[in-house]
Amino acid sequence: MTEESATDDVTEQEHPTGVFRSLVASVLAAARTRLDLAAVETEIFLLRAVRMLLWALAALACGLLALAFAMVALVAALWDTHRMLGVLGGAGLFVILTAVFAFIAARTFRQHPQLLSGTLAQLERDAHQAGGSP
């Protein structure tokens, strides 16, 4: 056996292992990229949800305080003549506002984007490019 044929045998034996290692490295790099994307999307989603909740709570608190003071003023104005009408009118107003706010909240939560939608779409594109089914 010559020295040249011995080096060819070594190269042929190392080549499949090198391809396998580079394939594994590529898969791990792609997985890390997808996990980074998922982490960023999750963080953005949570920050937006917290910000939305804080502003909604602030608006709700201010609105309810304004309504409460308006109802107290109405009951005080009608105390001598129609106090029950003022109290029941205020309660009815709060019931109507509760229904309106519940409808708006339900519509808002139905329209928000799905968590990790970008990551899932990227994974579907990866699967399509790899020839697999999503």
How many structural domains compose the chain? 1
CB 128 within 8 A of CB 134: yes
Residue 134 has pLDDT above 80, yes or no: no
Whose CA is closest to 36, among 117, 115, 119? 119
- pLDDT tens digits, residue range 4-31? 555 555 454 556 677 887 887 788 888 8
Rounded CA separation 125/119 (Å)? 10
Quote the domain boundaries for residue 34.
3-130
In the prediction, which pLDDT does 132 show?
A: 54
Residue 2 has pLDDT above 70, yes or no: no
In the prediction, which pLDDT does 99 show?
A: 87
- pLDDT tens digits, residue range 45-74? 888 888 888 888 888 888 888 888 888 888
- pLDDT tens digits, residue range 100-113? 888 887 887 777 66
In the prediction, which pLDDT does 43 show?
A: 86
